[in-house]
Amino acid sequence: MSFSAVVVAAGAGLRAGPGEPKAWRMLGSRPVIRWSVEGLLSAGAREVVVVVARDRLTQVDEALEGLEGWRAVTGGRTRADSVQAGLAAITAGRNQPILVHDAARPFVTRDHVDRLLAALDLADGAVPALPVPDTLKRGEGLVDETVSREGLWRAQTPQAFRFGRLKAAYRRWPTGEEPTDDAAVVERAGGSVAMIPGDPMLMKLTWPADFLMAEQLAASRRLIRMGQGIDAHRFGPGDVVWLCGIRIEHDLGLVGHSDADCGLHALTDAVLGAIAEGDIGAHFPPSDPRWKGASSDQFLTHAVKLATAKGARILNADVTLICERPKIGPHRDAMRQRIAELLRLPVDRVSVKATTTEGMGFTGREEGLMAQAIVSVETPL
């Protein structure tokens, strides 16, 4: 089912201790806010509106670089103001589902979203909720009374609603009062809100200790996948060879529909393989005249964008070039640097190696050359 989402990230997060507001802190080598936005996009969101403080508009572009399907708006003084600013930017129809999510709950998954959307068939809203397991006390310093926990639940986010119903409920909310969550706004307006089983993984990062636990959980929420690519081109007339994005003067050229860059073609297939998105020919058919003589940079860039859209993060790349000539050594550093730029990696995570076949086979006879590439990526479970 198609849905839109608002991610609220405009708060200061003071209880998390000194430092950046919690949505902007690093968790498992990426900002907390990226986890939440990636989770919703991976779950099928058609649009995600991210609500941030005005002074974070530039930072959110950096935090969400490479993701598609989101845009940022400026939040308000309170959480309710920020939610309404996000709703104002949503393009959904009145009856379309809308999810509202706190950026500080980074581990949202497709399963959470699917169960919330299914619950909207029976109610105006739906929230994930966990029963309160602890004995409850009321008082300050000394206990005034023990409160029964029977029938009490801890509400989590994301929370799901019909778009028109939530906007109308906010219009009816009394001025000067601050709702504790969006479900309370719909409840006050007479709407029904269903509770679905919550998930401890939907923990909210509130206190410094929460980040220590979240780091351990983050490691368990990522999967390392590998992709391999192989490409070969024969030599033909020409005086330039392109390899790994670098122009090399040579007494022959490489024959191919594009610029015949074996290194980048193998890398492209490796990235596509790691995210199970087919091969380079499926995305850039040799029969398509648009790619005649095209720079292979754009093929690899396309594969990287697909990986990023899936929530994948490229970890490293290893390329082996198999040829008698041209000599790779003088160009190795430039190749590594260019690949690092295209993959958005530090250069120390890129390896370029060269070998020969000792005069054997088509590479040994200098009829052509070949490239092999292996790429590792980290993806959400």
Tens digit of pLDDT per residue, the chain (381 long)? Answer: 789 999 999 876 555 555 688 899 998 878 999 999 999 998 999 999 999 999 999 899 989 988 889 999 999 999 999 999 999 999 988 899 999 999 999 999 999 999 999 999 999 999 999 999 999 999 998 999 999 989 899 999 999 999 999 999 999 999 889 999 999 999 999 999 999 999 999 999 988 888 888 888 887 767 899 999 999 999 999 999 999 999 999 999 999 889 999 999 999 999 999 999 999 999 999 888 888 889 999 999 999 999 988 878 899 999 999 999 999 999 999 999 999 999 999 999 999 999 999 999 999 999 999 999 999 998 876
pLDDT at 310: 80
- Burial, 378: exposed, middle or buried (Cβ in 10 Å; 0-12, 13-18, 19+)? middle
**Domains of the chain as residue ranges with CATH:** 3-220 (3.90.550.10), 222-380 (3.30.1330.50)
Q: What angle do CA 60, 110, 201 make, to 5 degrees?
A: 80
Please give the structure tokens belonging to residue 269: 């297939």
Amino acid at 316: N
- Is 154 strand, coil or helix? strand
pLDDT at 72: 96
Please give the structure tokens belonging to residue 201: 């993984």
- Is 214 strand, coil or helix? helix
**Type and span of the H or E element at 338:** helix 332-343
Amino acid at 330: P
Measured from the Cβ of residue 319, the count of other Cβ atoms closer than 10 Å reads: 27
Q: What angle do CA 177, 178, 182 make, to 5 degrees?
A: 125
**Residue from 319, 341, 344 nearest 332 by CA:** 319
Whole-structure pTM value: 0.70
